[in-house]
Homo-oligomer: A and B are copies of this chain.
Amino acid sequence: MPYFCLNNINWNDEGLIPVIAQEIDTGKVLMLAWMNWEALEMTIESGHAVYWSRSRKCLWQKGEQSGHIQIVKAIYLDCDNDAVLLQIEQIGGIACHTGRRHCFFKRLEEKNWIIVEPILKHPQSIYKNTDEQYS
């Protein structure tokens, strides 16, 4: 059955929508990434988050290399139909390609960005090929 629900979405000029991934158990905001139609369809179909990599210009099955997949528990669309919220379970407890729990690890303090989260696992031990470190 086709995904008519995706017609409701206000995709941007590049055919993308920003997607927030939030850990369902803790409420922690893990990352912001982007999806195109196909990525969102694959996400709905598989129950695992699939994004569009703007830098690599390809679909990006989150965790395909690292094993840090995101199991989707709920998908929300906002009032203007131009932002998505995924509530997910983060396998491995690491969402960020830097090896941290989540991507928002720089906090503004006295007009400086201070790193406030530890690296849990070094990226070199997560990714075999650093060109694909976003997966």
Min CB distance A64 to B, Å, is 18
A-side interface residues, number (CB < 8 Å): 37
Residues of B within 8 A of A108 (CB): 5, 44, 74-77
Contact A83 B32 (CB under 8 A): yes
How many Å lie between the Cα of A97 and that of B79 in the bound state?
8
Residues of B within 8 A of A80 (CB): 103
How many Å lie between the Cα of A98 and that of B80 in the bound state?
10
Contact B85 A105 (CB under 8 A): no
A22 within 8 A of partner (CB): yes
A125 within 8 A of partner (CB): no
Contact B5 A112 (CB under 8 A): yes
Min CB distance A41 to B, Å, is 10
How many Å lie between the Cα of A85 and that of B76 in the bound state?
18
A59 within 8 A of partner (CB): no
Contact A32 B20 (CB under 8 A): yes
Residues of B within 8 A of A76 (CB): 104-108
